[in-house]
Structure 1
Amino acid sequence: MSEDKKPSGPDLTAGVTLADFKDGKLLGHVGGEDVLLVQAGGEIFAIEPACSHYHGPLAEGLVVDDTIRCPWHHACFSLRTGEATRPPALNALAVWEIAQDRDRIRVQRKRESPKRSAAYRNAPTPEKFVIVGGGAAGFAAAETLRREGFAGTITMLSNDGAVPVDRPNLSKDYLAGDAPEDWLPLRGEDDYQDAGIDLRLNTNVAAIDPRARRVTLGNGDSLPFDRLLLATGAEPVKLQIPGAEQPHVHTLRSVADSRAIIKAAASAKRALVIGASFIGLEVAASLRARKLEVHVVAPEARPMQKVLGSEMGDFIRALHEENGVNFHLEDTVERLDGPRAMLKSGAAIEADLVVVGIGVRPRLALAEQAGLAADRGVSVTEYLETSVAGIFAAGDIARWPDPHTRHTIRVEHWVVAERQGQTAARNMLGRRERFDAVPFFWSQHYDVPINYVGHAESFDDVAIDGSISGKDCLLKYRKGGRVLAVASIYRDLDNLKAELEIERSRG
């Protein structure tokens, strides 16, 4: 804790009573460290109060059994051990010992943190596991395998030149200039070596042979595997118009892409964003933070109406317009003549930086060439196993049977990919763990965060509680009378409760 920050609440070593708690929680301090006391059932726990993801305030979170969920991005922690049990958090929280004397509760010493990389060295059954992909799902799988005690070899093949990074940051704070580059890596390069994970960057995979259980690399080398995880992710849809290959035209998926846009923005004055997707509008907000004039061209009447509905779409447009973004909706770019974008409407926009955000396409070629069953994604069971035993798929490519919507779905969300990577890893080890997590994503637009849980490919109506324009609302997306998804602005606890309600309605 910095010297100029005072400790929070009471001194917990002196003792408190349950009467001091509010809604089952009490924020205090031990020495110079803040500590959160949580009542769960008949027990009291003492835990670090800030989420290890983006430091969300757990005092405002939701207690479920003996866990606590972060209000910002729905990470989950064990109150008993501090372990991060659900992404996007990766690191455990500190926990303290509790002593109770009648009605007096005192916090004692902090428990020692378990050694992160030691467990796998003594684990049984060495085998060869290969992970194809260096994104959220592949990273989470590799890390989970070691945490679960897997002692065999783990080879992680990534065609990216950077170690796995916190990709949501690439269109948000990092692109806006508010986050340093050293925040991006999920782990440092030394961590992979320490954990015995053979991470190979700039490595292309040419083919997978399910019968021979071998992966052929782009350079002709091959690797045997006992279990394989396909986590190849998605790639941006390319703009198919004249002039789209010019050097000032960019897409955003990787660290290199984000760096290139930042470099171009340094000398640009006007930017054109093609597409009013979540990524496109987050890019627009980030470029406005860099003081560029920004124009957005998109074919729909309202941004993000298909996902969030007309009322939220109107609000998002107004929010961006208040921050200086110029919209050209119900229009498309037909060609790029140097810096001039010619629109279908006949209008022209001069822009020295163009960012294309018209969606992504799952990378399915490897799976299809290997003969794996596919249907607008790699078809997997509830255990994330493909049509070939011992080969699993997770992340943006996986289409799985969702128990709530009762359909097979494919979702392109960061947190979903991380959670699927964890489940796939456990099932590669022989578990039979169903993937039934409720999809979750968040999007940031200036000072407005939008949290969304569930999955509604379509909906009949939207029930709105609160005020969208007042940035205090909860929206329920319903079809046939059933709530399929919930979105919110500054209703974090309600959003967590909605997630739990959807979880408990499954079956």
Structure 2
Amino acid sequence: MTDSRSDPKGPDLALGIALDDLPDGGKLVGHKDGESVLLVRRGAEIFAVAATCSHYGGPLVDGLVVDDSVRCPWHHACFDLRTGEALRAPALSPLTCWSVEQRGDRIFVGEKRKKSSQASRDSNAEVLPERIVIVGGGAAAFAAAERLRREQYQGAIVMISDDEALPVDRPNLSKDYLAGKAPEDWIPLRTEGFYAKNGIEVRLGTKVADIDVRAREVVLADGGRVAFDKLLLATGAEPVRPSIPDANQPHVHTLRSLADSRAIIAQSGAARRAVVLGASFIGLEVAAALRTRGVEVHVVAPEERPMERVLGPQMGDFIRALHDEHGVVFHLKDTAASIGASEVLLTSGSTLTADLVVAGIGVRPRVDLAERAGLTIDRGVLVDAYLETSAPGIYAAGDIARWPDPHSGENIRVEHWVVAERQGATAALNMLGRRKEFTDVPFFWSQHYDIPINYVGHAERWDAIEIEGDIAAKDCLLRFTHGGRVLAVVTIFRDAESLEAELAMEQNKA
């Protein structure tokens, strides 16, 4: 999250640059009135937009131009070069655009262009729903509500969430925020005023008990009922708690919500040693964050090497070595047998002192509501290519949705933030009658200390891993293949190649 006014680089674009300095297909960063501006040339057209991604401030000059859009190298957000509109999550806010003028053989950047208010796009829908209800308060739920209003939908939107906080930037809860490097005002996706201004009714701390499919009503735990014309289920996932004695003590935590992250932060101040159960992405990101805070960390996990099931043995060894370098102590091929007031007893017989315990042993999709409603369940809520469930007019998105993935040819369910946001936006369009298939290539990122790991695609199994570069040198690309077909690509500090791999998968060239 950077400010485009900070230390602008490159030429003053108000004074102009030579046309030859921006070849066809080229990108160039300059500045106008103290703000960084990205120039992109496509044939005879030249675009001028803000130089940094509106998500976390990634440098778009290092991104990938595809048709009339630019993709961020960090987390694969995508923007329209003509309008600045955020086309793909994780970015939600548009880029500023400037006018561009060509005089002879020079290019000049003029004034900022006013944000165009989009005309209603709902004219193609047969009958617009009068009220859309969204159950959930996470990435998919928020993205759906935001997209509905961005599409100029004028009907009622009701978001029902059993969380006490407005939708937050969940990936940050285990990364920079937990490490103390990100202020809390970065965490809400939007302030309370956004919902009021956009007429989005948010009911926090509200549990949904049932869905009356026939009456088309959501039944609340307090007996109240909320009618809907279209319904989106975005109930997400919940952390798995250890099924061992005394796992519900106040110093034993899971991490999913803002309240969870705050509780871990509050106890970490006085904690000398923490035990993390599980070498999952969440578990290891928590370990990195607590080490950044100066807490001694021990990781207990049953596998031989961390993250091998998802990233393979080579990356597993790298991640182990990276955390070793930062002082994390691993207890692998072991599990917790019980948790005491100040120690964790392992099944191997060892005892670890623990002022703080965090369980990162996985999550389970919250499908109970969908199951009680009679929706088709298959290790998640089964949806079609339009994210519609077996009940017409009821959609599912995010961690609970199992959808037909055109890239792998299988029904898949993934628990990734970017996928959830993109599915929420697609479900919003389909609730308005657009009939847009969800075809995005899954993407997620993980961060361990200052090392980002990007993953595109989806490989539940593979028969070969092709490695380019040097993993230990933190400069690598790994292709996970099955039957000669690339299913997923993992990179460290090869952002452009990660974007190119994503595009190849989209175009079925992988």
TM-score range, shorter chain: over 0.9
1:354 matched residue in structure 2:
357
Asked whether the equivalents of residues 244 and 336 of structure 1 are also in contact (C-alpha less than 8 Å), the reply is: yes
> After the TM superposition, which residues 331-342 of structure 1 pair with which residues of structure 2 at under 5 Å, given as runs?
331-342=334-345
> After the TM superposition, which residues 164-313 of structure 1 pair with which residues of structure 2 at under 5 Å, given as runs?
164-313=167-316
1:20 matched residue in structure 2:
21
C-alpha displacement of 1:214: 0.5
Asked whether the equivalents of residues 336 and 347 of structure 2 are also in contact (C-alpha less than 8 Å), the reply is: yes
**Per the alignment, do residues 258 and 193 of structure 1 end up closer, same or farther by CA in structure 2, a change over 3 Å counting?**
same
> After the TM superposition, which residues 319-468 of structure 1 pair with which residues of structure 2 at under 5 Å, given as runs?
319-468=322-471
1:66 matched residue in structure 2:
68
> After the TM superposition, which residues 475-490 of structure 1 pair with which residues of structure 2 at under 5 Å, given as runs?
475-490=478-493
Partner Cα separation in structure 2 for residue 67 and residue 18 of structure 1: 21
Partner Cα separation in structure 2 for residue 2 and residue 282 of structure 1: 26
Of the structure 1 ranges 266-275 and 40-49, higher mean CA displacement relative to structure 2 is found in 40-49
Q: Which amino acid aligns with 1:355?
A: V
C-alpha displacement of 1:112: 1.2
**Per the alignment, do residues 422 and 287 of structure 1 end up closer, same or farther by CA in structure 2, a change over 3 Å counting?**
same
Partner Cα separation in structure 2 for residue 38 and residue 121 of structure 1: 31
> After the TM superposition, which residues 68-107 of structure 1 pair with which residues of structure 2 at under 5 Å, given as runs?
68-107=70-109
Gaps of 5+ in 2: none
Partner Cα separation in structure 1 for residue 8 and residue 255 of structure 2: 41
Q: Which amino acid aligns with 2:415?
A: E
Partner Cα separation in structure 2 for residue 316 and residue 113 of structure 1: 44
Asked whether the equivalents of residues 121 and 151 of structure 1 are also in contact (C-alpha less than 8 Å), the reply is: no
Query: What is the SS of the residue equivalent to 2:503?
Result: helix
**Per the alignment, do residues 350 and 411 of structure 1 end up closer, same or farther by CA in structure 2, a change over 3 Å counting?**
same
Partner Cα separation in structure 2 for residue 7 and residue 217 of structure 1: 52
Query: What is the SS of the residue equivalent to 1:361?
Result: strand
C-alpha displacement of 1:7: 3.2
Partner Cα separation in structure 2 for residue 441 and residue 253 of structure 1: 17
* Selected match of 2:51 from 45, 49, 52: 49
1:39 matched residue in structure 2:
41
Q: Which amino acid aligns with 1:69?
A: R
**Per the alignment, do residues 209 and 5 of structure 1 end up closer, same or farther by CA in structure 2, a change over 3 Å counting?**
closer
Query: What is the number of residues matched between the two proteins?
Result: 506
TM-score, normalization: structure 2?
0.96
Q: Which amino acid aligns with 1:302?
A: R
C-alpha displacement of 1:115: 5.3
Q: Which amino acid aligns with 1:9?
A: G
Asked whether the equivalents of residues 5 and 34 of structure 2 are also in contact (C-alpha less than 8 Å), the reply is: no
Asked whether the equivalents of residues 399 and 414 of structure 2 are also in contact (C-alpha less than 8 Å), the reply is: yes
Q: Which amino acid aligns with 1:459?
A: W
Q: Which amino acid aligns with 1:7?
A: P
Asked whether the equivalents of residues 128 and 432 of structure 2 are also in contact (C-alpha less than 8 Å), the reply is: no
Of the structure 1 ranges 28-37 and 425-434, higher mean CA displacement relative to structure 2 is found in 28-37
Gaps of 5+ in 1: none
Asked whether the equivalents of residues 3 and 57 of structure 2 are also in contact (C-alpha less than 8 Å), the reply is: no
Query: What is the SS of the residue equivalent to 2:189?
Result: coil
Partner Cα separation in structure 2 for residue 439 and residue 61 of structure 1: 18
Partner Cα separation in structure 1 for residue 7 and residue 454 of structure 2: 31
Q: Which amino acid aligns with 1:90?
A: L
Deviations 1:170-217 (A, max 9, x none): 000000000111110000001101000001100100100111100111
Between the aligned residues of both structures, percent identity stands at: 64
Instruction: Provide the aligned C-alpha RMSD in A.
Output: 1.9
C-alpha displacement of 1:6: 4.3
Q: Which amino acid aligns with 2:300?
A: V
Partner Cα separation in structure 1 for residue 188 and residue 4 of structure 2: 28
**Per the alignment, do residues 114 and 385 of structure 1 end up closer, same or farther by CA in structure 2, a change over 3 Å counting?**
same
C-alpha displacement of 1:102: 3.2
C-alpha displacement of 1:114: 3.7
Asked whether the equivalents of residues 125 and 151 of structure 1 are also in contact (C-alpha less than 8 Å), the reply is: no
**Per the alignment, do residues 441 and 483 of structure 1 end up closer, same or farther by CA in structure 2, a change over 3 Å counting?**
same
Q: Which amino acid aligns with 2:41?
A: Q
TM-score, normalization: structure 1?
0.97
Deviations 1:116-142 (A, max 9, x none): 9x9699999460110000000000000
2:114 matched residue in structure 1:
112
